[in-house]
Structure 1
Amino acid sequence: MTVKIMRQREWAFPPAPARREVLTATPAEPTDAPPLLFVPGFNHGAWAFAEHWLEHAVERGFPAYAMSLRGHGESGPSPGADLRAYVHDVTQVAAGLPRQAVLVGHGASALVVAMALARYPARAAVLVSPVFGGVRAAFSTLFRAPLVAAPAIVGRPLRPRRGHLFSRDLPIADGSRYAARLGGASARAQWQLVAHSAPEDPVGTPPVLVVGSPDDRVVGRAALTAVARRYGGAPLLFPGMGHDLMLDAGWKEPIDAILDWLDKIDQ
């Protein structure tokens, strides 16, 4: 494993400062559990985790934080942001937490978290419905969900629809409400999903769990398996669910499985 100590470009040309939204929920009693930092995918804000998973993690005894990348949610605007800026956001927020954190990235932000692992010594990481991109993955998604992938390939804003993100079990009113809150990532960051180098190896050897659904219309099962193999494991799958596991009708099962896994690695 090779870890870069000096990153000359990042020292010389750091990402521009940005206001970051961070939502916080902590248990009423002190706990030894590691803090969780939830990082929502492109188009989503911290609200996507605050809906269910944030408070549920607290009920299970984990301090929990949900952030919005720059240009997302209630964070400051940043129309020209790139993946490096998003990685900077994650590492800066994680470094400001009281203890070594578990990073939980969703969708394209699973790639952002994977890149952040080369800069921040996380306690562990969870990649939820990971969109790792690359040309092959982009064309696979183009075949599965053309209205999602085509805009990113040609530099237009992503416009995922309710049917791309949720199962039919989620009430239409809820799906419409969530879809109405979706924002947009920068065109530059979207294009970088197609044309980017593989993430560097993590600092240290943090355990990494990949979670997804075989019925995800954005990320295919083969892609989930490939990402999990990269980290020496197999994906934990939840059939019948959509891309947004944290918002779908069966949201409780995945987060409980994630927290159970964290309990085991801390033993």
Structure 2
Amino acid sequence: MPERPKTYCARPQLEVIDRGRVSESHPVPLLFVHGAWHAAWCWDEHFLGFFADRGYHAVAVSLRGHGRSMTSKPLRSCSLDDYVEDLSVFAADLPRRPVVIGHSMGGLVVLKYLESQQAPAGVLLAPTYPLAYLGTGLRWVRRHPWHFARIAATGKSLPFVNTAELARERFFSPHTPESRVRDYAARLQEESGRIGFDAVFSFPRPKRVRTSLLVLGACDDGSVTRRAVQATARAYGVEAEFFADMGHDMMLEPGWATVAERVHTWLGARGL
């Protein structure tokens, strides 16, 4: 059995959940990056144990201001560059360059990281992409036009995602048990007010990314549109793969194991 997860700090005081260790079959660590309103805990529910059981060293980091990670400035002003710095700092502390795996906003963090850093491989789950992010935002505006007015007035977005009803609409499929939706909704936290602006105007440079990518999407995603996921994949020269009966939080949905197995198979084919 893999060792129990442990939480510790690496500069600059980031929360990390660490499972398993590298093996002869899987000599490269996996570094997981969460999306908006989440933290490292979302990977520890299923994915970290899944990969640790199969001989990987699986590590999830909470970006600054998330989970137990510290931040030297208000969360509302944390930028995409700040989050990329967090990923870069922790990845540099690992014994070997990790495979980087990002969900949603974390996928954008991974892509920006890969513009200046090499990695053995990258995996994006339900990723956001700057230009396609506009379509995702417009979907939210059409459903809840008053949300954006309230967010602009208060600078707070958590109240508009952390009820069971809103969390299911945005993050979970109709197949997810209500008890799980309520539990996960209660664990969501406030997100940077600046990050939405950065997500649209970050000007990605796909030609700078030389890392092989796997892009996975969810057919019942209430947050990121199918077109947005496809646009991300096309920009980086790959085809997106989609999972039926799956909501945005692919690592927490009842069908999470099929997603994890696909990542495992893809990495194995690359000797990772």
Decide: shared fold, TM above 0.5. yes
- Whole-Å separation in 2 of the counterparts to 1:223 and 1:67: 25
Distance 1:216 1:138, change over 3 A: closer
Partner of 1:241: 246
Moved more, 45-54 or 193-202: 193-202
Letter in 1 for 2:252: L
Partner of 2:140: 142
Distance 1:222 1:76, change over 3 A: same
Say if 1:145 and 1:218, in contact at 8 Å, map to a contact too: no
Say if 1:70 and 1:89, in contact at 8 Å, map to a contact too: yes
- Whole-Å separation in 2 of the counterparts to 1:152 and 1:66: 32
Q: Deviations over 1:197-244 (max 9, x none)?
A: 1245445x2111111112201111111111111121111110111100
Distance 1:147 1:221, change over 3 A: same
Distance 1:228 1:152, change over 3 A: farther
Displacement of 1:254 in angstroms is 0.2
Q: Does 1:125 align with 2:122?
A: yes
* Alignment size in residue pairs: 250
- Whole-Å separation in 2 of the counterparts to 1:94 and 1:199: 21
Q: Which runs of 5+ in 1 are unaligned?
A: 1-16
The equivalences for 1:192-211 within 5 A come to: 192-199=198-205, 201-202=207-208, 205-211=210-216
Letter in 1 for 2:40: A
Partner of 2:225: 220
- Whole-Å separation in 2 of the counterparts to 1:236 and 1:177: 28
Say if 2:130 and 2:204, in contact at 8 Å, map to a contact too: no
TM-score by length of 1: 0.85
Letter in 2 for 1:157: S
Displacement of 1:170 in angstroms is 1.6
Q: 1:81 aligns with which of 78, 81, 86?
A: 78
Letter in 2 for 1:59: D
- Whole-Å separation in 1 of the counterparts to 2:29 and 2:87: 14
Two-structure CA RMSD over aligned residues (Å)? 2.4
- Whole-Å separation in 2 of the counterparts to 1:103 and 1:83: 16
- Whole-Å separation in 2 of the counterparts to 1:115 and 1:22: 21
Partner of 1:265: 270
Partner of 2:56: 62
The equivalences for 1:1-267 within 5 A come to: 18-27=12-21, 31-77=25-71, 78=73, 79=75, 80-134=77-131, 136-142=134-140, 146=144, 150=148, 154=152, 156-158=156-158, 159-160=160-161, 161-163=166-168, 164-199=170-205, 201-202=207-208, 205-266=210-271
- Whole-Å separation in 1 of the counterparts to 2:81 and 2:52: 30
TM-score by length of 2: 0.84
- Whole-Å separation in 1 of the counterparts to 2:151 and 2:91: 31
Three-state SS of the structure 2 residue aligned to 1:66 is: strand
Letter in 2 for 1:209: L
